[in-house]
Structure 1
Amino acid sequence: MKVGVVSDTHLSSSAKGLPSVLIEEFRKVDKILHLGDWVSLEIYDLLAELAPVEGIAGNNDGAEIIRRLGERKIITLEGVRIGMIHGHAPYSRKGTDGNALLAFEGEDVDCILFGHSHQPLMRKENGILLFNPGSPTDKRREKQYSFGLMDIEEGKISARHVFYDSRE
């Protein structure tokens, strides 16, 4: 199973639409996971045209998005348990990856996906893959925009970032 991972699209505040490189890659995925800060549900509809979408709300999302998607969830894809959280809470004093770990402390997860910082990250801690795709539309202090791709096969996950220079 091929999965597209994205966060912090901030559609209404800093981008007019989805970048063409993201659209091209997400047309090839079986599922899209969005980790919050959609800002507008319009982004859900744009992504749903490419593949089925699952997501959670972030700290810049309004009540409608929170009500519709929730702020934390665990999903299972191909036998892999994936925790999804935006990363702004619960506050751990250890950065967004620390917040994400705290959000699923004591839970049986293979992978934790999070956003919030707009900083791409991929590392393992205690056998759990921590993955932040960065942002496809608001790179902040990063050199490039980014999103993630994951392959899940026979209970194993491989993940990678896709980096690019233009959000067009």
Structure 2
Amino acid sequence: MKKILIIADTHMPKKGISLPEQLISVLKKGVDLIIHAGDWSEKSVYEELSLYAPVYGVRGNVEKDEWAKQLPDKEVLQAEQIKIAIVHGHLGKGRTTPDRAYQSCMKDKPDVIIFGHSHIPFMEKRDEITIFNPGSPTDKRRQKKFSYGILTTTSNDFELKHYYFT
């Protein structure tokens, strides 16, 4: 069993000087992996998250420095028997962010697609693929609360859940 923290759109330090206490609490309790679906803004976010667990993530549309060039536009990884695709959601074809994320990962045949970009928590199942946006823990925009996600895997199944805080 693996516990995976899912975040996106941290936009730090512009939208948050540090990771919120709610997120730090989850990290201190322990996670096996961390997924960041882009718009980190600075490498310091990666460095801080790396203190807690291995970090996987993609480039968003705000990363402009040299570090960002090392980040892929799409990452595909395996956790237990669950295949996870990660994109930011700003590239590709489709009218909406979930549509672009779905279209850009279909050929990878994942079980789960993690995306960001819209800052809107989202979960939907399409053709046996779960599409998930954790929202943002630091930049809620017009959402009522900040949010993140937790993916818990077992040998052949998974559970995805949003967590909200003010």
TM-score normalised by the shorter chain: which range applies? over 0.9
Partner of 1:53: 55
Matches within 5 A, 1:96-111: 96-111=97-112
Coordinate RMSD, CA, aligned: 1.0
Partner of 1:62: 64
Distance of 2:113 and 2:102 partners within structure 1 = 7
> Where in structure 2 are there 5+ consecutive unaligned residues?
none
Distance of 2:93 and 2:32 partners within structure 1 = 32
User: Is the CA contact (8 Å cut-off) linking 1:26 and 1:32 kept in structure 2?
Assistant: no
Runs of 4 or more above 6 Å deviation: none
TM-score normalised by structure 1 residue count:
0.94
Distance apart, 1:77 and its partner CA: 1.1
Distance of 1:72 and 1:114 partners within structure 2 = 10
CA distances 1:3-55 after superposition (whole Å, capped 9, x unpaired): 00000000021110000000111232100000000000000011111211111
User: Is the CA contact (8 Å cut-off) linking 1:57 and 1:65 kept in structure 2?
Assistant: no
Distance of 1:133 and 1:59 partners within structure 2 = 17
Partner of 2:8: 7
**Secondary structure of 1:73's match?**
strand
Distance of 2:82 and 2:66 partners within structure 1 = 29
Asked if 1:35 corresponds to 2:31, the answer is no
Structure 1 vs Structure 2: percent identity of aligned residues? Answer: 36
User: Is the CA contact (8 Å cut-off) linking 1:23 and 1:50 kept in structure 2?
Assistant: no
Which segment is superposed worse, 137-146 or 101-110?
101-110
Letter in 1 for 2:27: F
> Where in structure 1 are there 5+ consecutive unaligned residues?
none
Counting matched residue pairs gives 164
